């Protein structure tokens, strides 16, 4: 069965520091992987998606993620955090041939001035 | 602009009452979904529909019901059988033709008990 594990329910960084949000997945077939961002009292917005075309995926707002099959990981990074990056981030996986997407529990990012 | 509209943004339910959450999309998507979000638990799938007049239970369907009479609309009813309905409810849609396409979300409805 598919599953997604996000390591760390809360991550705190200083403004200008590297952002690293961790995601590991479990899937029996090549997965489609996504990162979404959620601001307070809003729905989720797509940051980026992996669909096997390239292992390093660039998204919006300066975020990128690298697919590592050997580690079953899809960690999200941003070189320099901005105050506006404070939000909750969700990693998600969907399998080929299925219409369901499994979401991780989310990681809340705090950015300190 | 195309998108998903959820209404109302805030909803209050009395004991023993059924309430219905609205979800409308103009993205021409075939598939629609309802999720429940509780703090620290991520998103849990309540119901999903891949086509008009057809829907399937998700992981936590008990106490909820849906209908899909039109492609654009996928209302969710929270029945009195749902004993802990206080949560943030998110509706989403996606094209079912391309499985690698992401889901598009509405801005949610926050349901509370009076």
Each residue's pLDDT expressed in tens, for chain B with a length of 114 residues: 679 999 999 999 888 899 999 999 999 999 999 999 998 788 999 999 989 999 999 999 999 999 999 999 999 999 988 889 999 999 999 986 666 678 899 999 999 988
CA distances from A4 to A35, A78, B80, B101 (A): 11, 21, 32, 18
B103 secondary structure, DSSP code: P
Tell which of B3, B5, B24, B43 to mutate to test the A interface (max A CBs under 10 Å).
B43
| Digit-coded pLDDT (tens) for A52-95 | 778 899 999 999 999 998 899 999 999 999 999 999 999 998 86
Q: Which two tokens stand for residue B45?
A: 């799938």
Whole-number pLDDT of residue A74: 95
SS3 B84: coil
User: Cβ distance A109 to A6 under 8 Å?
Assistant: no
CA distance B101 to B74: 20
Task: Name every residue in B having a CB less than 8 A away from some CB of A.
Answer: 4, 6, 31, 35, 40-43, 45, 48, 50, 58, 90, 92, 94, 96, 99-100, 102-108, 110
CA distance B103 to B105: 6
Tell me whether A103 touches chain B (CB under 8 Å): yes
Whole-number pLDDT of residue B37: 95
Contacts of A95 (CB under 8 A, 6+ apart): A2, A27, A28, A29, A31, A32
SS (H, E, C) chain A: CCEEEEECCEEEEECCCCEEEEEEEECCCCEEEEEEEECCCCCEEEEEEECCCCCEEECHHHCEEEEEHHHCEEEEEECCCCHHHCEEEEEEEEECCCCCEEECCCEEEEEEC
CA distance A21 to A38: 14
User: Cβ distance A18 to A81 under 8 Å?
Assistant: yes
With 80 as the cut, is the pLDDT of residue A14 above it? yes
Whole-number pLDDT of residue A97: 56
Torsion of CA B100, B7, A106, A100, to 10 degrees: -30
Q: Collect all residues of chain B within an 8 Å Cβ-Cβ radius of residue A36.
A: 102, 105
Banded model confidence at residue A99, pLDDT cuts 50, 70, 90: low
How many inter-chain contacts (A to B, CB under 8 Å) are there? 56
Neighbours of A1 (CB within 10 A): 7
Average pLDDT score, chain A: 91
Q: Which of A54, A37, A55 is nearest to A46 (CA)?
A: A37
Residue of A nearest to B95 (CA): A99
How many residues belong to chain B?
114
Half-sphere exposure (Cβ direction) of A66: Cα atoms closer than 13 Å = 6
């Amino acid at each position: 069965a598919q599953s997604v594990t996000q390591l760390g329910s809360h991550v705190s960084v200083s403004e200008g520091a590297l952002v690293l949000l961790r995601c590991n997945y479990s899937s029996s077939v090549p997965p489609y992987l996504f990162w979404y961002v959620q601001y307070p009292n809003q729905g989720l917005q797509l940051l980026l998606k992996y669909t096997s075309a390239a292992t390093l995926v660039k998204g919006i707002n300066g975020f990128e993620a690298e697919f590592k099959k050997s580690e079953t990981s899809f960690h999200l990074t941003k070189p320099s955090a901005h105050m506006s990056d404070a939000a909750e981030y969700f990693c998600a996986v969907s399998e080929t041939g299925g219409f369901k997407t499994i979401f991780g529990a989310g990681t809340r990012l705090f950015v300190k001035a | 602009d195309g998108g998903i509209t959820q209404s109302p943004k805030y909803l209050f339910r009395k004991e023993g009452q059924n309430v219905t959450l609205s979800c409308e999309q103009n993205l021409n998507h075939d598939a629609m979904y309802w999720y429940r979000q509780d703090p620290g638990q991520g998103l849990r799938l309540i119901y999903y529909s891949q086509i008009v007049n057809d829907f399937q239970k998700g992981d936590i369907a008990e106490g909820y019901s849906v209908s899909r009479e039109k492609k654009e609309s996928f209302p969710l009813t929270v029945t009195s059988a749902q004993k802990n309905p206080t949560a943030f409810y998110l509706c989403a849609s996606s094209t079912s033709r391309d499985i690698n396409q992401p889901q598009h979300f509405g801005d949610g409805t926050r349901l509370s008990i009076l």
